[in-house]
Amino acid sequence: MHLLETIGNTPLIELRNTTASTEGRLLFKYERGNPGGSIKDRPALFIVTEAEKRGLLKPGGTIIESSSGNFGISLAMIGAAKGYRVIILVDPKTTATNLALLKCFGAEVIVVTEQDDSGSYHKTRISLANKLASEIPDAFRPDQCFNLLNSTAHYQGTAREIFADCPDNVAAIVAAVSTGGQLGGISRYTKTYRPDVKVIGVDAVGSSIFGGESHSYLIPGIGLAWTPCNVAVENIDSVYKVTDEAAFVAARCFARNEGVLMGPSGGACALVALTITKQLSPHDCVVCIISDGGDRYIQTLLDDAWMQSNNFSIETSLEKLLALTGTITPWSIHPDQNANYKPELKSQLCVPASTQTINENIDEINESASRISFIDYITEHGFRMRMASRSACMRPLVKNYMKNSRQQKSRSRRLFFAESIRRLLNIVRNGC
């Protein structure tokens, strides 16, 4: 098996110590198990593979990307495996460990120290990456912020894995948002096939993806000063914003009380997921996406001196973690009303033509993915599409689903299609 074939199929683990028997179950989709150590392996490989198919990335070419760490590490690993030159633009929030990993895989690292108008580094990183891509021959920009293949990767992969492995009683899925890939892809799949499941987005205090004031914050790999195009806000039921301290302390508490290492974004998501779990009955469960492992944050998150230098608590008791859940409340229960889309950024940041070309074809790609997922959804439950095709009473439902699959924009349509799938399954199980 080739290294890159090990990406995906990460474990779903259940936590036992932080939830009571009278509360819901808490499950972690633990993405540390990918060879590059994070969930970013999935979209990185997906985008690179698609670029190769399209002739946008040729043998001996150069991959140039803006990344806070994990996506860059994934690209560096893939570049080393496939023989590409890789240039990654990071910022001062990138940990020393991540910088070392990037260089270990042979990536060239540029640290961008100029802040943008929001107090972050995203715009300056992206702008410089686009400039370099236009100047370097045979360069390709994966462009995770604006490339819709980012969310498609999670629609086809991560989301399908979750529902294949999860029990039927999933009440909610919790995921962080930055470039919007994982939250966008998972939410689209969920609201297509399981609209009864709540999709919860987690953002950082200081990010304005879902409105609010933009200012600097310390949590890496989460948040933006605008709503990325990969996030379809109509698919998100509610959003929580978590402070730096709460995210870092929660991650340390889960390491100490559950033996699960995670980064600050994972700590933020896990804290929100635990809070929701405590509002549920034992019959229900919450799935939380843990994007990476805490081993990349040994010099920050896991270092008492660093925590104290930022005036963060170093207490890691279960009581401290449970107390934090009492501080967590939704930022918005109507995320679609708070979206902060800025379409002008595409021209201001000089988004490359390759991204625009890919995005022009993405509806066709998503339609294909939707059909594949529909068939897989049936087969993963132990049924045969051959049986469906022979059933006269099923043909109208299948035909209608396929005819209207590209039009699944409103919640009412999603509900209809989800109900159609359930009817199909019942027919296959029980006959007409």
Q: How far is CA 292 from CA 36, 263, 302, in A?
A: 9, 6, 14
Q: What share of the chain is helix, strand, coil (3-state, %, to 5)?
A: 50, 15, 40
Cα(161)–Cα(182) distance, integer angstroms: 13
Percent of the chain residues topping a pLDDT of 90: 69
Strand pairing of 12-15 and 25-30?
antiparallel
Q: Supply the pLDDT for residue 379.
A: 53
- Record the pTM: 0.84
Q: Supply the pLDDT for residue 377.
A: 54
Q: Supply the pLDDT for residue 168.
A: 77
Catalytic residues: 40
Q: Supply the pLDDT for residue 388.
A: 43
Tens of pLDDT along the chain (432 residues)?
A: 899 999 999 999 999 999 988 899 999 999 999 999 999 999 999 999 999 999 999 999 999 999 978 999 999 999 999 999 999 999 988 888 999 999 999 999 999 999 888 788 889 999 999 999 999 999 999 999 999 999 999 999 999 999 999 877 899 999 999 899 999 999 999 999 999 999 999 999 999 999 998 888 999 889 998 999 999 899 999 999 999 999 999 999 999 999 999 999 999 999 999 999 999 999 999 999 999 999 899 999 999 999 999 999 999 999 999 999 999 999 999 998 888 898 899 889 889 888 988 888 876 655 555 555 555 555 544 444 444 444 455 555 555 545 554 444 444 555 555 555 555 555 544 544
Which residues face 26 on adjacent strands?
Answer: 15, 286
Sign of CA dihedral 304, 307, 313, 316: negative
Alpha helices in 13-118 (DSSP H): 41-54, 70-82, 96-104
Sequential DSSP letters for 148-184 = THHHHHHHHTHHHHHHHHS-TTEEEEEEE-SSSHHHH
Q: Supply the pLDDT for residue 386.
A: 42
Q: Supply the pLDDT for residue 406.
A: 46
Q: Supply the pLDDT for residue 362.
A: 78
pLDDT tens digits, one per residue of 20-77: 888 999 999 999 999 999 999 999 999 999 999 999 999 999 999 999 789 999 999 9
Residue type, 200: I
Query: Which among 164, 248, 235 is positioned nearest to 200, based on CA atoms?
Result: 235
Q: Supply the pLDDT for residue 408.
A: 47
Q: Supply the pLDDT for residue 19.
A: 93
